Structure 1
Amino acid sequence: MRYQISYQLYSSRNFPPLEAQFPTLKALGYDAIEPWLPAYEADAKSFRRALDAAGLACHGFHMPLSGLIDEPNRFFDIALTLGARFLIPPFVPEEERVNTSDFWKRLGETLATGAERARPHGLKVVWHNHNFEYVSLPDGSRPIEHILGGSDEVLFEIDCGWVTRAGANPAAELARYADRIAFIQMKDTAPLGTRNDDGWTATGDGIIDWPALVPLMRLTAAEHIVAEHDNPADWKRFAERSINYMRSLGL
């Protein structure tokens, strides 16, 4: 299977205007972009026109968790305007996190409610991880288990870079959640302690053993892979090196 490859537009947030990058991303071989708020917020219709003009799609987009709770219909409308099928809440601010299993179970229940509301619109809810979901709670469980435990309708965008930085094993997580994974972020990390570019790298330039992970990736339900770098000095170099490496792996 040939994956749809998306470029996470957050990678380019420091290099506006973002829409001017679309033709370059298409020329590099990307199929789609994965935007984050506020990239699409000001005018979703105009954003969609720019995507269409460049020949790019938007399969899913990052959105605030509060939007799923407080403004679901607004984000459903944005999804339909962009042609996206997946709503992806990606984060809980540190000041809002509580170090108990009950807190993360409630988050899982919230996502399940969001998924139920999204279903009639043909949309799905997907959780995106950082590192904190893999830090053990006092009872020995991990937040990710509770986040994805509320409903099978809540899918998963696994960020392999953050899994690795958390000290967890991407191979184990790919296998554990194989049937729930909708997107695989092939984010790579340099050796821990690296300061350049906040320690992130282009896919294939870091410490993650991607050739070993690819067979496990192919056993998941994912049809989409995503290139992301949290703070590249050169967005185009990152984008080009990443997609070239992904294609070299037969993806």
Structure 2
Amino acid sequence: MAMLRERLHEVSAACETLGITQLVMPAVPPAERDSDAAYWRALGNELGSLAHRLAAQGIALAYHNHDWELSAKENGATALELLFESAGASPLGWQVDVAWLVRGGADPLPWLRRYTGRVVSAHAKDLAPAGEKLDEDGWADVGHGVMDWPTLAAACREAGARFLAAEHDNPSDGERFARNAFAYLHQLGA
């Protein structure tokens, strides 16, 4: 976020040089994750403004969620809802991390329906059964956990996701994860 605020011209120039047309804000700093409603509204407003400025240069800006954005901030509204509400009709997109929604206690399907048109891509990862894969923080290779990825992948596409990005936050074997994710997503047609 600091680079977008302080060096937007350099960021957009680097995107142009590298041929990047989709830029994702990955996370807010740890110290800011439990901020109040005013913070999340201000961030949504700022990201919306940046999304307009970047769109004029052919670069789409999106926000990536985790579970902390699902905490209620004001009148039951979550941080993520406040962020998107404050971004208004801006072109700010959403790179939805479906497993973080589930880990945060949300059913991802209503979220995907609600923000259809804002969703640009999705992280495809999975949750291990309760008490398993503790050495991998409870994550599982996509398609090897408890999430219904055939349904979720279809919902992500219907919401506007152009692609699913295989992800695992803490694989004990990166090669195993990559092989499993590729095989699963390939057979899924994702």
Fold equivalence (TM over 0.5) = yes
Quote the residue 2:95 is aligned against: 157
Residue 199 of structure 1 corresponds to which residue in structure 2?
138
Task: Select the residue among 81, 95, 110 that pairs with 2:31.
Answer: 95
Structure 2 counterpart SS, 1:206: coil
Question: Would you say 1:223 and 2:162 are equivalent positions?
Answer: yes
Conserved? CA contact 1:99–1:138, under 8 Å: no
| Matched residue, 2:62 | 126
Q: Distance in 1 between matches of 2:109 and 2:144?
A: 18
Gapped regions of structure 1 (runs ≥ 5)? 1-64
Report 1:67-82 matches (<5 A). 67-82=3-18
- Native 8 Å contact 1:69 1:110 kept in 2: no
Of 162, 170, 178, 2:116 maps to 178
Does the residue aligned with 2:80 lie in a helix, a strand or coil?
Answer: helix
Deviation of the 1:128 alpha carbon: 0.2
For residue 110 of structure 1, the aligned residue among 22, 43, 46 is: 46
Alpha-carbon separation, structure 2, partners of 1:186 and 1:98: 25
Q: How far off is 1:187 after superposition?
A: 1.7
- Verify the 8 A CA contact 1:157 1:182 in the aligned structure 2: yes
Instruction: Give yes or no for contact 2:34–2:68 (8 Å, CA) kept in 1.
Output: no
Shift of 1:134: 0.9
Aligned counterpart in structure 1 of residue 147 of structure 2, from 208, 213, 223: 208
Q: How far did 1:110 drift?
A: 0.9
Q: What is the CA distance between 1:190 and its match in structure 2?
A: 1.2
The answer to whether the 8 A contact 2:33-2:69 is kept is no
Greater displacement, 109-118 / 189-198:
189-198
Which stretch of structure 1 is more off in the superposition, 200-209 or 190-199?
190-199
TM-align CA RMSD = 1.5
Matched residue, 1:239: 178
SS in structure 2 of the partner of residue 245 of structure 1: helix
Deviation string for 1:206-236 (max 9, x for gaps)? 1111122233223122212101111112112
CA contact (8 A) 1:148 1:155 kept: no
* Structure 1 letter corresponding to 2:157: R
Query: Is the contact between residue 188 and residue 202 of structure 1 (CA under 8 Å) also seen in structure 2?
Result: yes
Cα separation, 1, equivalents of 2:72 and 2:111: 15
2: CA distance, partners of 1:241 / 1:119: 36
1: CA distance, partners of 2:13 / 2:130:
41
- Quote the residue 1:7 is aligned against: none
Comparing 71-80 and 155-164, the one that deviates more: 71-80
Deviation at 1:105, TM superposition (A): 0.6
TM-score, normalisation: structure 2: 0.92
3-state SS of paired residue (1:88): strand
Unaligned runs of 5+ in 2: none
Determine the structure 1 residue equivalent to 2:75: 139
Deviation at 1:98, TM superposition (A): 4.8
Distance (Å, rounded) in 2 between the aligned partners of 1:192 and 1:130: 19
1:71 is displaced (CA, Å) by 1.2
User: What SS does structure 2 have at the residue aligned with 1:215?
Assistant: helix
Indicate conservation of the 8 Å contact 1:186/1:226, yes or no: yes
